[in-house]
């Protein structure tokens, strides 16, 4: 898919400044985009990346347009414009490419594939790998050697699974991420996710776990990671080597978890956070800030109005200082 900047400007209702005939072949981040790709900037924290970007064009609002050094598309709502454009560059799975295993089995050596599986085009499956019944393996998927894919697993278009991996029944790899932009009427517009999922070697993924594809870059599960049943990993999450995650944990988008971490059951991790190596998070905790040092962390706060929660949280962090001050005052009174 290629679109001229004039076509894109019309599609997203933008004011174009620059070469209207320039062709754009994809979307990328400000840092990684090349001259044939378009990017976007939603806030001033991206100012430096915007100035240095090699993108062929950038979608911006009036607050950032002065920092652009390339073709610009000026809009009122950058995130909404981006959401509309993503669907033009999304390469959907062609259902006509999916064929019964009997039509594909000759393409693989020393691979066991159970009845009921459906496999797309350009799929690579390593030797000594087994695929359980009723799996769906979409186009351009790569599965390494000595892996076990149990029954009813879906691995969606373009995802990569390393060697010696185990993916348990009902897991979905490469599902669409949860991203939406709101228009001025309060209606939601979905964002198409253009990235994929990369899974390293010796990774195990539990039953009914879902791992979303990245929005632009990939979601990454590094080698040695162990993931329990019913875990949700959102778009662009990166999980470091040898980390273990227990059941019913949810990790929001663009969070980076370090190496050798242990995440207890039913933990909630909000998006855009960084968790250091060798961190343990106890079960049912909520992680809502960066964790910069190794250690054991626990977080339990009752549900309340957010305005009240901010006050409570402030006092909790000062309790040790208050207790120390009270001891000093009591000692002086005596």
Structure tokens at 314: 């402030």
Q: Give the number of other Cβ atoms within 10 Å of residue 308's Cβ.
A: 10
Whole-angstrom distance, CA of residue 326 vs CA of residue 165:
56
148 beta partners: 130, 166
**For 271, which DSSP code?**
S
Write the CB contacts of 309 (distance below 8 Å, at least 6 apart in sequence).
Answer: 301
Asked if 153 and 130 count as a contact pair (C-beta separation under 8 A), the reply is no
∠ Cα 251 136 255 (to 5°) = 15
Report CA-CA distances (Å) from 282 to 111, 245, 295.
40, 11, 11
**Of all helices (H) and strands (E), which one includes residue 58?**
strand 57-60
**297, 301, 303, 307: CA torsion to nearest 10:** -100
Handedness of CA 265, 268, 271, 272 (dihedral sign): negative
Nearest Cα neighbor of 23 from 59, 56, 60 is 56
**For 270, which DSSP code?**
-
- Options 67, 189, 235, 272, the catalytic residue: 235
**For 144, which DSSP code?**
-
Q: Is 97 part of the annotated catalytic residue set?
A: no
Query: Which residues are marked as active site?
Result: 235
């Amino acid at each position: 898919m290629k679109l001229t900047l004039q076509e894109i400007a019309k599609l997203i209702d933008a004011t174009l400044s620059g070469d209207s005939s320039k062709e754009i072949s994809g979307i990328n981040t400000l840092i990684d985009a090349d001259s044939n790709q378009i990017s976007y900037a939603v806030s001033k924290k991206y100012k430096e990346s915007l100035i240095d970007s090699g993108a062929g064009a950038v979608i911006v609002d009036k607050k950032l347009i002065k920092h652009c050094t390339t073709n610009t598309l000026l809009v009122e709502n950058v995130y909404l414009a981006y959401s509309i454009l993503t669907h033009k560059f999304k390469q959907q799975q062609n259902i006509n490419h999916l064929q019964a295993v009997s039509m594909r089995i000759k393409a693989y050596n020393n691979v066991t594939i159970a009845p009921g599986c459906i496999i797309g085009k350009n799929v690579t499956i390593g030797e000594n790998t087994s695929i359980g019944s009723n799996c769906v393996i979409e186009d351009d998927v790569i599965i390494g050697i000595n892996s076990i894919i149990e029954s009813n697993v879906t691995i969606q278009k373009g995802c990569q699974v390393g060697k010696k991996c185990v993916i348990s029944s009902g897991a979905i790899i490469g599902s669409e991420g949860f991203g939406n932009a709101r228009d001025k009427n309060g209606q939601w517009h979905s964002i198409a996710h253009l990235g994929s999922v990369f899974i390293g070697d010796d990774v195990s993924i539990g039953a009914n776990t879902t791992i979303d594809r990245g929005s632009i870059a990939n979601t990454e599960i590094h080698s040695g990671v162990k993931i329990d049943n019913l875990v949700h990993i959102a778009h662009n999450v990166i999980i470091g080597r040898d980390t273990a995650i227990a059941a019913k944990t949810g990790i929001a988008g663009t969070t980076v978890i370090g190496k050798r971490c242990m995440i207890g059951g039913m933990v909630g991790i909000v998006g855009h956070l960084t968790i250091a190596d060798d961190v343990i998070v106890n079960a049912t905790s909520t992680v809502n800030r960066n964790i910069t040092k190794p250690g054991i962390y626990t977080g339990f706060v009752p549900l309340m109005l957010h305005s009240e929660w901010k006050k409570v949280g402030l006092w909790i962090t000062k309790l040790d200082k208050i207790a120390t001050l009270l001891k000093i005052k009591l000692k002086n009174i005596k």
